[in-house]
Amino acid sequence: MLNQIILVGRLTRDITVHKAENGVKVATISLAIPRSFKNSEGSYDTDFVDCVAFDSIAENTSEYCGKGDIVGVKGRVQSKVEEKGEKKEYSLEVICEKITFLSSKSKEEEE
């Protein structure tokens, strides 16, 4: 079996790192990824994907990247279950194994 995903997109917000109860540093990263095809109205839709980075990956990304920067994420998909009262809600998130800094928005503005 294989659980691997590669995404390239823009960061939708600046990244903040916080410590979990067990002392691990965690950052939640949201990527905006435009689709490569037009919808029925003739425009491109965008998907928003939440990714979670830990420890040095989280720290380095928060230090060197900000809102609007393009990054590549290599990771795995993980399901998450949240209990809300008697109801369970299931969702998917990407656990980052590697983040590559591809383009800085501030550098693009200088050119």
pLDDT along the chain (111 residues), means of 10: 96 92 93 93 94 95 93 95 90 95 68 51
The values of phi and psi at residue 93, to 5°, are: -140, 160
Helix (H) or strand (E) holding 110: helix 105-110
Is residue 39 included in any domain, yes or no? yes
* Contact indicator for 35, 49 with CB cutoff of 8 Å: no
Confidence (pLDDT) at 85: 87
Cβ burial, residue 30 (10 Å; 0-12/13-18/19+) = middle
CATH number at residue 85: 2.40.50.140
- What's the per-residue H, E or C state across 57-72? HHHHHHHHCCCCCEEE
User: What's the predicted TM-score (pTM) here?
Assistant: 0.81
Is residue 73 included in any domain, yes or no? yes
Is residue 108 included in any domain, yes or no? no
Provide the domain count of the chain: 1
Range of the domain at 30: 5-103
Is residue 111 included in any domain, yes or no? no
